[in-house]
Amino acid sequence: MEKRTIKFWAQDDRPREKLLAKGKTSLSNAELIAILIGSGNKNESAVDLSKRILQSVDNNIHQLAKLSAEKLMSFHGIGEAKAVSILTALELGKRRQYESSAEMQKISSSEDVFTLMKPIFSDKSHEEFWVIYLNNSNKVLTKELCSKGGMTSTIVDIRLLYKRALELSAIGIIVCHNHPSGNVKPSEQDKILTDKVKKAGNSLDIQLLDHLIIGEKSYFSFADQGEI
């Protein structure tokens, strides 16, 4: 038997009408995606199709954001336009989170750094190394991508890192990179790099305040662990 489309559902069960009547927070992730795609296929409603897409990433929105348009289009009922709609909505959500975190200008703890940088790393499948440049009040002058690499490592040019610090008259820096695997335990290479960055900064009177390794839900702080 062919499933009924959304327009045949009871009024309270229709995602658009439910949003207008009860508010956006009343909708499940699948219902929100169903609004984006509008319709399913002849065997699935838009909500059922959305549930199946979410189940493919263990109902994890961060993992959903990592899917390519081609991967989304592999689901029957998702064409190019619907795939683009999903990716656009997820990117807007990411940018909103990024702008909210960017409003915080002063760094007082490793948690502040995690809040500031997590949106940048949230859907990265490769390693990136970022530097936060600070003034003498620990206010953020700027944050910049220093290098990017593969799944397990990235190469950092310490000379360029401190060249930029001198240009900005930065008093301190915080460096951070992600581990796409989710395991935030520092490797020996991470420890060696931290020591090199710290020693190079000492000679320029620019303090390395912390080095964070950031995962999807947690982080490791060298400063918090007394390793700087």
The model's confidence at residue 25, banded by pLDDT at 50, 70 and 90, is: confident
CATH number for domain 106-221, candidates 3.40.140.10, 3.10.270.10, 2.40.50.140, 3.40.109.10: 3.40.140.10
Q: What is the pLDDT of residue 24?
A: 87
Q: Are the C-beta atoms of residues 120 and 145 closer than 8 Å to each other? A: no
**Alpha-carbon gap, residue 121 to 126, rounded angstroms:** 9
pLDDT tens, position by position, 130-142: 999 999 999 999 9
Distance of CA 26 to the CA centre of its chain: 24
Token pair listed for 104: 């915080």
Q: Is the pTM of this model over 0.85?
A: no
User: Structural domain boundaries of the chain?
Assistant: 6-99, 106-221
